[in-house]
Structure 1
Amino acid sequence: MTAQGPEAAITAWLATQHDAMLAELERMVNTDGGSYDKEGVDKVGAQVREFMTRHGIPVETIPGDRFGDCLRATVEGGDPTANSGNNRQNIVLMGHRDTVFPKGEPDRRPFTIKDGIASGPGVCDMKAGLVLNMFILAAFAKHGGAPGPLVGLFTGDEEIGSPEGRPVIEAEARRARVVFNSEPGRPSGAVVTGRKGGVFMVVEIEGRAAHSGGNFEAGISAIGELAQKIVAVHALTDLSRGITLNVGLVSGGQSVNTVAPSGQMQIDFRYVTPEDRDEIMGKIHEIVGKSFVPGTRAAMTIRGEFLPLTQSPSSAKLFEAYVAAAADSGLTVTGEFAGGCADSGFTAAVGAPTICAVGPVGGKAHSPEEYLDVATMVPRAQAMARAILRLDQSGL
Structure 2
Amino acid sequence: MKNYLQSKEGEMLLLLERLVNIDSGSANKAGIDEVGGILKSEYEDLGFTVEVIKESNNGNNLLIQYEQSNNPEIIVVAHMDTVFKDGTASERPFTIKEGRAYGPGVIDMKASQVSLLYAVKALIANKRTGFENLRIVLNSDEEIGSPTSKDLIEQQATGKKYALIMEPARKDGSLVTARRGGGEYSLYVTGKAAHSGIEPQNGISAIEELAHKIIKLHTLTNHEEGITVNVGLIEGGESVNTVAPTAVGHIDIRINKAEQAAVLAKQIEDICSVSDIPGTTLRLEGGIDRPPLVKTDKTIQLLDIIKQVGTTIGIDITDTATGGASDASFTSVAGVPTIDGLGPIGGDAHTEKEYLEIPSFVERTELLASVIEKLSTKE
Query: Which TM bucket (shorter chain)?
Result: over 0.9
The residue type equivalent to 1:70 in the other structure is N
Letter in 2 for 1:225: E
Tell me the CA shift for residue 64 of structure 1. 1.7
Amino acid corresponding to residue 130 of structure 1 in structure 2: Q
User: 2:377, 2:347 → 1: CA distance?
Assistant: 33
Match of 1:123 among 97, 103, 106: 106
Q: Deviations over 1:162-186 (max 9, x none)?
A: 0001111111100322111010100
Structure 1 position 17 matched with structure 2 position 1: no
Gapped regions of structure 1 (runs ≥ 5): 1-9, 81-87
The amino acid that maps onto 1:109 is R
Q: Which letter does structure 2 place at the counterpart of 1:257?
A: N
**1:152 and 2:143 matched:** no
Q: CA deviation at 1:381?
A: 1.2
Measured in 2, the distance between the counterparts of 1:244 and 1:392 equals 39
Q: For residue 100 of structure 1, what is the aligned residue in structure 2?
A: 83
- List runs of 5+ in structure 2 lacking aligned partners: none
Q: Which residue of 1 aligns with 2:266?
A: 282
In 2, the alpha carbon distance for the partners of 1:137 and 1:349 equals 27
- Report the RMSD for the aligned CA atoms in angstroms: 1.8
Does the CA-based 8 Å contact 1:195-1:339 persist in structure 2? Answer: yes
1:359 aligns with 2:343: yes
Indicate the larger mover: 384-393 or 45-54: 384-393
Letter matched to residue 122 of structure 1: G
Aligned residues: 378
Moved over 6 A (4+): none
Instruction: Supply the distance in 2 between the matched residues of 1:345 and 1:271 (Cα, whole angstroms).
Output: 12
- Residues 2-42 of structure 1: CA distance to partner in whole angstroms, max 9, x if unpaired? xxxxxxxx444223221111111111111001111111111
Residue 274 of structure 1: SS of its match in structure 2? coil
Q: How far 1:147 moved relative to its partner?
A: 7.8
For each residue in 1:310-329, what CA deviation from the matched residue of structure 2 results, as whole angstroms up to 9, or x when unmatched?
A: 12222221111111112223
Q: Distance in 2 between matches of 1:19 and 1:250?
A: 46
Structure 2 residue 10 is the aligned partner of structure 1 residue 49: no
Q: How does 1:322-361 map to 2 (within 5 A)?
A: 322-361=306-345
Residue of structure 2 aligned with 1:138, choices 121, 126, 136: 121
- Secondary structure at 1:289 match in 2: coil
* Structure 1 residue 393, shift from structure 2 partner: 6.0
Output one character per residue of 1:171-217: Cα deviation in whole Å (capped at 9) or x when no partner: 11003221110101001110000000011111111111122222211
Alignment of 1:64 onto 2:48: no
How far is the alpha carbon of 1:392 from its aligned partner? 5.3
TM-score normalised according to structure 1 size = 0.91
Pairwise CA distance, 1:360: 0.2
Match of 2:373 in 1: 389
The answer as to whether partners of 2:130 and 2:377 remain within 8 angstroms in 1 is: no
Change (3 A) 1:138 1:152: farther
Q: Distance in 2 between matches of 1:331 and 1:345?
A: 26
Alpha carbons 1:76, 1:149 under 8 Å: kept: no
1:263 maps to 247
Give a deviation string over 1:293-341, Cα, whole Å, max 9, x none: 1111111111773221012222221111111112223211111001000
* Alignment deviations for residues 23-77 of structure 1 (CA, whole Å, 9 cap, x no partner): 1111111100111111111111111112223333221111122211111221267
> Which of 97, 121, 130 is the aligned partner of 1:114?
97
Quote the Cα distance in structure 1 between the aligned partners of 2:312 and 2:5: 14
Distance in 2 (alpha carbons) for counterparts of 1:108 and 1:201: 32
Question: Taking every aligned residue pair, what percent have the same amino acid on both sides?
Answer: 37
Q: How does 1:189-268 map to 2 (within 5 A)?
A: 189-268=173-252
Tell me how far apart the structure 2 counterparts of residues 380 and 218 of structure 1 sit (CA, whole Å).
64
Preserved contact between residue 75 and residue 141 of structure 1 (Cα < 8 Å): no
Give the alignment's TM-score, normalised by structure 2. Answer: 0.95
- CA displacement, residues 204-232 of structure 1 (integer Å, 9 cap, x when unaligned): 11111122222211111001011121122
